Amino acid sequence: MKKKQFRLLMLLSAFALLILAACGSDSEKETKDAEKEDTGGNSAATDKPESDIKFLSLLTGGTQGTYYALGGTFADLITTGTGIKTTAEVSQASAANMTALQEDKGEIAFVQTDIAYYATEGKMMFDGAKIDTISALGALYPETVQLVTTEASGIKTYADLKGKKVSVGAPGSGTYANAEQLLEIHGLAMTDVKAQNLDFGESTEGLQSGQIDAAFITAGTPTAAVEALNATTKVNIIGMDAGKADELIAKYPYYAKETVATGTYGIANDTETVSVLAMLAVKKDLPDEVVYEMTKAIYDNTDKISHDKGRLIKAETGLAGISIEVHPGAQKYFDEKK
């Protein structure tokens, strides 16, 4: 009798467990269905992409340049948009950033469009060291090639640079390539000046102290380092000679004409020079959905960029001037904007 009661009790317990399991399954299904409704059919609770990536490094430039000034904001936007913690890192800018991406020392980087082209083609400073692991996320804003000097230097034209101490940026940097090409188009070579390999901050300090006479600075205007110099020393921006911008563009088509407007750094007249474009490059092996969300996070939120260059960063010009392969995730975003 006891055995029969025991068997009956076991059967009732098993039946109860089956009922509970069925209820739990229905409840779980209802929860998932509700999540889908809340997220437009996506089973995830948010629109953030699923990824094993936990951290991203955004390579910028020196602390006195525009890349660094924008980097913190971009990192915050990407963190919010993707759910992946992104940190802006100080770096040596364009050329160094391309090498760093190749060596897995970062995933995203600011770079000039001309330097990205050189890297992917194995030209100029990348001769024999072609980089094939990067693609474009998008174009940002014009980077003006500024030949900065002081009123006390007496320099008025490119010809006046001969024999003077001129900061031309680090060898292999974007600024160095720009300086070399602008000197060349004006009939000068690096050997005609006393070239100094300084970063933006060192350049402006050298101008202030009189240790150098002029400096090439390729950055979005106004550039923080030059503004700081102008606060203590009268700044001049040397314009290109008549017709030289056209000659330069004919030889190096990634340049565009640019004007440093009256009032910038307190200058009295519009000054004609040239620019390249700033862009963001990413590693090719980043997942498409992650890069899509990164691109969306930046270009959909340009109103949150407090730097003056934020007004120039637009989705409709996000592919302008890009001469390297665009990452499929970024391409998807820009295709949706058409």
The CATH number linked to 326 is 3.40.190.10
Up-side HSE of residue 279: CA atoms within 13 Å toward CB?
33
Indicate if 212 and 285 belong to the same structural domain. no
Can you give the pTM of this predicted structure? 0.74
Q: What is the pLDDT of residue 263?
A: 95
Q: Is residue 17 part of a domain?
A: no
pLDDT for residue 303 is more than 50: yes
Residues 100/332, Cβ–Cβ less than 8 Å: no
Indicate if 149 and 261 belong to the same structural domain. yes
Least confident of 46-50, 80-84, 177-181, 207-211: 46-50
Please provide the average confidence, as pLDDT, over all residues in the chain.
Answer: 87
Q: What is the pLDDT of residue 47?
A: 60
- Percent above pLDDT 70 for the chain: 85
Structure tokens at 250: 């004919």
pLDDT for residue 291 is more than 70: yes
Gap between the Cα atoms of 242 and 102, Å rounded: 40
Indicate if 206 and 224 belong to the same structural domain. yes
- The predicted-structure confidence for 13-45, as pLDDT tens digits, reads as follows 555 544 444 444 444 444 444 443 444 444 333
Indicate if 165 and 288 belong to the same structural domain. no
Our measurement of the distance from residue 111's CA atom to the centroid of its chain's CA atoms, rounded to an integer in Å, reads 6
Q: Which of 8, 65, 50, 42 is nearest to 198 (CA)?
A: 65
Domain boundary among 230, 261, 276: 276
Q: Is residue 198 part of a domain?
A: yes
Gap between the Cα atoms of 251 and 185, Å rounded: 9
Structural domain boundaries, residue 107: 55-141+278-336
